[in-house]
Amino acid sequence: MDGVHDMGGMHGFGPVVVERGDEVFHEAWEPRVFALYHLSNVRGLVGGPNGRAIRESMDPAHYLEASYYERWLWSAERRLEAKGTIAPDEVEVMMARLAVSEAPPTAADPQLAAEAVAQLREGSPPMGIAANPRFAPGDHVRVRRMHPDGHTRCPRYVRGAGGVVERVQGTDRLPDKAAYGLPTEPEPVYAVAFASQDLWGESDEPPWTVLLDLFETYLEPA
Amino acid sequence: MSDVHDNDGGHHHERLASPIELRARALEALLVEKGLVSTDAIDAVIELFENDVGPQNGAKVVARAWVDPAYRERLLADGAAAIAELGFGGAEGNTMVVVPNGPGVHNAVVCTLCSCYPWPVLGLPPSWYKSAPYRARMVSEPYAVLREFGLELPAETTIRVWDSTAEVRYLVLPERPSGTEGWDEEALAAIVKRDAMIGVAVPVAVQTPA
């Protein structure tokens, strides 16, 4: 989707601001949203498109204004609603209850705690091995021109550009379909190297290389 | 991350919660009340990232690669397998590619579309990594971004920027700085910081008091 999340090369955001000290979480609610999001997946409480596809569908102004974990919270609510786990107004009702000093409930479920941690320690399976990749390291390729209205891992800034296959990374299901639960077979993924001038034109700086992991679907021979 | 519980700075009772904080609390309370998640499970997930998973893991990987050429070779050939030798792996880190800096080559990692990051070796990403300026500019003006981090590369050094657009997660293997000859693995790991493993800094040989 050609949304504001596809930021590579955009102008106007200013310098990178580095906060020294605690840079991962700023407020106590942020790690709790992170954990809640994970637990919702572990318990199968969510439905609809995956979290990234949902966050990319946020109103662009809201996306840019929201903090990182605010986006996670927003997508958690949408996914919980999609499954019917919560109703759209239930969060507001609970906010009103908590506002009148009702103590938030606590609960213990050691089995869930263990399962949640085990899943993080385990992770997803690694990418598969590409048996018959169409391209080999050294091959010249061009990124297809495309304008998908859903989730994609092909950023705008490389579309139409020519690059060189650096390595075959393995196989994976095309996120453009997998994000929506649509059937798709694993396909090869390539690290493709692009010369800076082929992406951005001339620069006063010395040349550099940008490498992206691109699905075979995105590429054609050059 | 260890500051998570200290962020209220002792003013917990005076500070007014923001609307988004109230919303986050409400969603948690809702799911707990429905019996779908538990507060101890939330705490357990947070504790994992506070205590076990963070850049201290990546630093051990780098230090091992600096002192053990055979390990370095395995690390560059199959990142996840070599990292697993040290006991690290899991979510956002089961397909790992380790990119080595060397004479004339400096690597850096970004995720222009979102926030992809190798959790098992670096923990969760810092705010700047997920910020619009870094995501926008690291691919289009990396020298300028690195200068903002205080990193001025030698003129003959070229940058290779890895945009993590699929499931591969990247770890930069920095060069071992001069002045660390004879250091043991633990002392070496102590100078390997998160930013050097993302590629926006390089390690410096400064002995920290034991």
Taken in order of first residue, the domains within chain B and their CATH numbers are: 9-51 (no CATH), 54-198 (3.90.330.10)
CATH superfamily, region A29-122: Nitrile hydratase, beta subunit (1.10.472.20)
Does the predicted TM-score (pTM) go above 0.90? yes
* Nearest chain B residue (CA) to A196: B140
Q: Catalytic one among B18, B38, B116, B140? A: B116
Active site residue B115: yes
Name the CATH architecture for the domain at A140-221. Answer: Roll (2.30)
CA triplet B126, B131, B136: central angle to 5 degrees? 130
Mean pLDDT, residues A197-206 = 96
Q: Catalytic one among B2, B18, B115, B131? A: B115
Q: Catalytic one among B111, B127, B140, B178? A: B111
Q: Catalytic one among B38, B114, B131, B140? A: B114
Q: Does A25 touch chain B (CB under 8 A)?
A: yes
Active site residue B116: yes
Contact between B41 and A113 using a beta-carbon 8 Å cutoff = yes
State the residue for tokens 């639960």: A181
Mean pLDDT, residues A40-69 = 97
* Nearest chain A residue (CA) to B40: A108
* Nearest chain A residue (CA) to B160: A209
Note the pLDDT of residue A103: 87
In the predicted structure, residue A120 carries a pLDDT above the cut 80: yes
Q: Which residues contact B110 (CB under 8 A, 6 or more apart)?
A: B129, B134, B135, B138, B139, B161, B162, B163, B164
CA distance A57 to chain B (A): 13
Report d(CA A149, CA A85) in Å as an integer.
27
Task: Give residues 131 to 150 of A whose Cβ lies within 8 Å of B.
Answer: none
Q: Report in angstroms the alpha-carbon separations of A11 from A7, A59, A111, B122, B136.
A: 9, 20, 48, 29, 7
Note the pLDDT of residue B208: 61
Mean pLDDT, residues A206-215 = 98
Note the pLDDT of residue B1: 41
Which two three-digit tokens encode residue B51?
């205590």
Q: Does B177 touch chain A (CB under 8 A)?
A: no
In the predicted structure, residue A42 carries a pLDDT above the cut 90: yes
- The domains spanning A29-122 and A140-221 adopt the same CATH topology: no
Please, which residues bridge with residue B107 across strands? Answer: B160
| ipTM of the complex in this document | 0.97
Q: Does A172 touch chain B (CB under 8 A)?
A: yes
Note the pLDDT of residue B209: 53
Pairs from B79-85 (Cβ < 8 Å, separation ≥ 24): B79/B171, B80/A126, B83/B120, B83/B121, B83/B171
What is the residue extent of each domain of chain A? Answer: 29-122, 140-221
Note the pLDDT of residue A22: 64
More confident call, B81 vs A100 = B81
Contact between A108 and B135 using a beta-carbon 8 Å cutoff = no
Note the pLDDT of residue B15: 67
Active site residue B2: no
Q: Does A170 touch chain B (CB under 8 A)?
A: yes
Task: Note down pLDDT in tens along chain B; length 210 residues.
Answer: 444 444 444 444 556 789 999 999 999 999 999 999 999 999 999 999 999 999 999 999 999 999 999 999 999 999 999 999 999 999 999 999 999 999 999 999 999 999 999 999 999 999 999 999 999 999 999 999 999 999 999 989 999 999 999 999 999 999 999 999 999 999 999 999 999 999 999 999 987 655
Average pLDDT along chain A: 96
Indicate the range of A99-108, A113-122, B73-82 predicted with least confidence: A99-108
Contact between A113 and B140 using a beta-carbon 8 Å cutoff = no
Contact between A36 and B28 using a beta-carbon 8 Å cutoff = yes
Active site residue B140: no
In the predicted structure, residue A142 carries a pLDDT above the cut 80: yes
Chain B residues whose beta carbon lies within 8 Å of the beta carbon of residue A112: 37-38, 40-41
Q: How confident is the model at residue A94 (pLDDT cuts 50, 70, 90)?
A: very high
Q: Does A206 touch chain B (CB under 8 A)?
A: yes
Q: Does B127 touch chain A (CB under 8 A)?
A: yes
Q: Does A110 touch chain B (CB under 8 A)?
A: yes
Pairs from B114-117 (Cβ < 8 Å, separation ≥ 24): B114/A5, B114/A52, B114/A55, B115/A68, B116/B92, B116/B164, B116/B165, B116/B169, B117/B92, B117/B164, B117/B169
Q: Does A107 touch chain B (CB under 8 A)?
A: yes
